[in-house]
Amino acid sequence: YFPTMPGVGDAISMLVDDSLRTFNITAIIPDPPENSSFQFEFVGQIGSSRYATRNETRWTSNGPSTYVKLGSGVDAHNVEAGTIPIVDTYLGESRQSAIEQGWWEDRDDTFQYRLQPLREVHLTPGIDSFSVSVSNPQYSYILLAIAFGVLLIACLNFITLSVGRSSSRAREVGMRKTFGANRSQLMTQFFGEALLMSGVAVILGLTLASIALPIFNEVAQKSLTMGALLNAKSIAAIALLAILSGLLAGSYPALLLSRFRPASVLKNAGGLPRGWMFSRAMIVFQFMVSIAMVTAVLIMHDQMRFVSNQDLGYNAEEILVVNMNGSDESTDIVATRYAERIAAISGVVRSSGSSSSFGNDWSRTVIQKDDINHIVYTNRMDPTFLETMGIQLVNGRNLSYEFETDASSAVLVNEAFVDAMGWDVGVGQAVPEYEDVTVVGVVSDFKFLSMRTQVPPVMLHMSPDIGSNNYTMVRFNMANVATIRPALEQAWKEVAPAAPFVAQFLDERIERLYETERRWQNIITYAAILAFLLSSMGLFGMAAMTTSRRTKEIGIRKVLGASTGAIVRLLSFEFTALVAIALVLATPLSIYVMSEWLSTFAYQISIGPVVFVISGLIALSITLAAVSFQSISAAIADPVDSLRTE
């Protein structure tokens, strides 16, 4: 706002309550941290706004928040109990009226004032999200689960490869025991090796994290920095995680290898059926997790494509939504003048005023019918709204300025409203609780909210007493898409030169309703790629050790006439079977988890077999790629080399 740093005592003009006012700067404070729930550019007295002061006597208002500093040792529950007389005194009549009309249930806790600890605000969505920024902790739990899954796969890889190398280290264990080493000393050695590797992995992991953090920030739309992450608590947590990971990864190899009997090992007796069975179980588990992640990505992709291709009931393309706020005049005056100005712009087809855009900013009211409360979304509009948006009128007539009573006693409703009221025909019906308001037309259902929500009952009106023309919806010709925005911005500067031009294409605004889903789709995609990469590395190592152990068997088979293809199939079949088992186990897990996710959408796809076939083929391809190199190398090797010692 200032070309140079302002000082205390400088003035700034701001639009407050539709009027331009001048404020003196009394102090300059640092920007709030990016992870703070309180984000602001300036702080003023609450009495500066008429909107804020009018809530001083509105005891049911949930707009402003009140912050209370409690004394040391004060119980918050006792303070809450002290607010009960306030409710009885100032809300008694309103509460009783709301109960009688069916808006509230007749319970003692129908309306209460509650205290929420400040430290709980940020991760408690839905309680106080009006005045501060909150975050859903579920997202943190999902990220934690993904990270834990990837880390677990890495640990299992270490265990699998350690078990695979057990035959090569068996003689070392036998020799150490022969020379007096006891089991605890051997276990200490193996745990020490695992912890050392875990420590090295932490250093490499932090290095990779610093490199990958910009990519993560872009995908997750965050602005994290390594400096902010590496505080005392997180360093302690990373150290603890490294120790636990090392102990987990080293536990099974330490227990397995330290129990070998020297005599059996040195005589080459006593196979390792338990160790190898465990290794195969770990391979199955790793691929089960990886396949489940890939399946989740495919289902999310199909759902997002389904959402994008849904018939919205209107044409969202070729619409630019221009915000009418920001001027020192009322939005109705600005919208009227702006509509007149842009009518002459080449490429503008038509425009319409609207109190709400498409998204979550529509006004709502409660209408009771047959003892059922219906939440009805309302929007003030111009008569050109339906034509501009491409919304179909299925019965009756449109609102019009030609009928004097339309602005005060006529509404349009959608088909969902007619169904909610239990009407056969909506036209001519009086709106319950608004007996002087009549339905003159019924429009088709149109999806102005997210696809997570069924189309709700809607009332469209022209009443100037309920809502203002906060937005102008401009339909333009797509051939003029490159020039239309600059032209509309220039028109805005002529109509409201002191106000910023704020506009957004409607289809982009609708896409933003699903930013969270698309962001998580990208995150899980990267996690699935990483999980498959780690699983493949483990599988490659496992295949190498399996091939090494069966070298003489392969040589004998070749001497007896086995073809290269037969040997490759022999070595590949075992791992292919493991992946098939993983697919079978991952299928019900994926169906359960993704069905829960899909249930958050009112409009959703059905989970079909195609996604599991694709996931299975991806896993099978990766398996064959990882195993084939070792199998082919062993199959084409000269059997003389493997049988020489015989």
Higher pLDDT, 621 or 538: 621
Residue 24 maps to a domain: yes
Is the pLDDT assigned to residue 123 strictly greater than 60? yes
Confidence of residue 227 (pLDDT cuts 50, 70, 90): confident
Burial class, 326, CB count within 10 angstroms (exposed 0-12 / middle 13-18 / buried 19+)? middle
How far is the C-alpha of 394 from the C-alpha of 441, rounded, in Å? 8
Question: Taking the CB of residue 471, how many other CB atoms lie within 10 A of it?
Answer: 25
Average pLDDT over residues 141-160: 80
- Residue 3 has what pLDDT? 64
How far is the C-alpha of 355 from the C-alpha of 405, rounded, in Å? 20
Whole-number mean pLDDT of the chain? Answer: 81
- Residue 461 has what pLDDT? 92
How far is the C-alpha of 135 from the C-alpha of 131, rounded, in Å? 13
Helix (H, G, I), strand (E, B) or coil at 75: coil
- Residue 126 has what pLDDT? 56
Average pLDDT over residues 25-32: 86
| Strand ranges (E), 341-443 | 348-354, 363-369, 372-380, 393-396, 410-414, 430-431, 434-443
How far is the C-alpha of 125 from the C-alpha of 128, rounded, in Å? 7
* Residue percentage of the chain with pLDDT more than 90: 24
- Residue 459 has what pLDDT? 94
Tell me the CA distances in angstroms from 103 to 97, 100, 351, 419, one per residue in order: 9, 8, 37, 20
Dihedral of the CA atoms 193, 197, 198, 199 (nearest 10)? 100
459 with 333: CB under 8 angstroms?
no
How far is the C-alpha of 630 from the C-alpha of 541, rounded, in Å? 9
- Residue 395 has what pLDDT? 93
Residue 39 maps to a domain: yes
Q: Which of 110-124, 349-363, 368-382 has the lowest mean pLDDT?
A: 110-124
The angle at the Cα of 540, spanning 238 to 614, to the nearest 5 degrees, equals 90
Of the three residues 488, 511, 534, the one that is the final residue of a domain is 511
The pTM for the full model equals 0.73
Is the pLDDT assigned to residue 645 strictly greater than 70? no
Tell me the CA distances in angstroms from 454 to 73, 283, 360, 433, 604, one per residue in order: 48, 43, 13, 24, 11
- Residue 160 has what pLDDT? 72
280 with 578: CB under 8 angstroms?
yes
* pLDDT (tens digit per residue) in 524-583: 888 888 888 888 887 877 777 777 777 777 788 877 887 878 888 887 888 889 889 999
- Residue 272 has what pLDDT? 47
Question: Taking the CB of residue 44, how many other CB atoms lie within 10 A of it?
Answer: 14
How far is the C-alpha of 623 from the C-alpha of 537, rounded, in Å? 10
Tokens of 197: 């590797």
* pLDDT (tens digit per residue) in 83-113: 878 777 777 666 666 666 555 666 666 677 7
How far is the C-alpha of 350 from the C-alpha of 340, rounded, in Å? 11
Tell me the CA distances in angstroms from 180 to 18, 173, 283, one per residue in order: 89, 11, 35
Amino acid at residue number 385: F
Residue 156 maps to a domain: no
**Enclosing H/E stretch for 410:** strand 410-414
Confidence of residue 646 (pLDDT cuts 50, 70, 90): very low
Among 6, 26, 388, smallest CA distance to 398 is for: 388
Is the pLDDT assigned to residue 641 strictly greater than 70? no
- Residue 471 has what pLDDT? 92
3-state helix, strand, coil in the chain (%, to 5): 55, 10, 35
Tokens of 233: 């608590």
Residue 63 maps to a domain: yes
Is the pLDDT assigned to residue 398 strictly greater than 90? yes
- Residue 270 has what pLDDT? 46
* pLDDT (tens digit per residue) in 260-291: 666 565 555 444 445 567 778 888 888 898 89
Higher pLDDT, 350 or 127: 350
- Please name the residues in contact with 375: beta carbons below 8 A apart, sequence gap of 6 or more: 364, 365, 366, 456, 457
Residue 174 maps to a domain: no
Is the pLDDT assigned to residue 130 strictly greater than 60? no
Average pLDDT over residues 126-140: 59
- Please name the residues in contact with 156: beta carbons below 8 A apart, sequence gap of 6 or more: 282, 285, 286, 538
Residue 345 maps to a domain: yes
* Residue percentage of the chain with pLDDT more than 70: 82
- Residue 352 has what pLDDT? 94
Average pLDDT over residues 111-123: 76
Is the pLDDT assigned to residue 132 strictly greater than 60? no
Q: How far apart are the first and last CA of the chain?
A: 87
Of the three residues 71, 101, 131, the one that is the final residue of a domain is 101
- Residue 50 has what pLDDT? 63
Confidence of residue 140 (pLDDT cuts 50, 70, 90): confident
Average pLDDT over residues 69-84: 87
Helix (H, G, I), strand (E, B) or coil at 459: strand
Average pLDDT over residues 369-385: 87
* pLDDT (tens digit per residue) in 199-222: 998 899 889 888 888 888 887 777
Average pLDDT over residues 362-381: 85
Q: Which domain holds residue 47?
A: 11-101
Is the pLDDT assigned to residue 636 strictly greater than 80? no
- Residue 80 has what pLDDT? 85
- Residue 524 has what pLDDT? 86
- Residue 191 has what pLDDT? 86
How far is the C-alpha of 56 from the C-alpha of 46, rounded, in Å? 10
Tell me the CA distances in angstroms from 447 to 389, 450, 458, 584, 602, one per residue in order: 12, 7, 11, 38, 11
Residue 504 maps to a domain: yes
- By DSSP bridging, strand 434-443 and strand 410-414 are parallel
**Backbone φ and ψ of 290, nearest 5°:** -65, -45
Dihedral of the CA atoms 309, 312, 317, 322 (nearest 10)? -140
Residue 413 maps to a domain: yes
Among 471, 482, 484, smallest CA distance to 345 is for: 484
Tokens of 206: 């932090």
Is the pLDDT assigned to residue 9 strictly greater than 90? no
Average pLDDT over residues 485-501: 90
How many separate domains does the chain show?
A: 2
- Residue 61 has what pLDDT? 63
- Residue 581 has what pLDDT? 94
Of the three residues 55, 83, 101, the one that is the final residue of a domain is 101
Tell me the CA distances in angstroms from 457 to 97, 363, 468, 559, one per residue in order: 24, 12, 21, 79
* pLDDT (tens digit per residue) in 608-619: 999 999 999 999
Higher pLDDT, 582 or 137: 582
Tell me the CA distances in angstroms from 533 to 34, 88, 517, one per residue in order: 34, 63, 24
Q: Which of 251-255, 486-490, 619-623 has the lowest mean pLDDT?
A: 251-255
Amino acid at residue number 198: S
Among 360, 354, 364, smallest CA distance to 331 is for: 354
Average pLDDT over residues 41-50: 75
Tokens of 495: 């109509």
How far is the C-alpha of 191 from the C-alpha of 248, rounded, in Å? 9
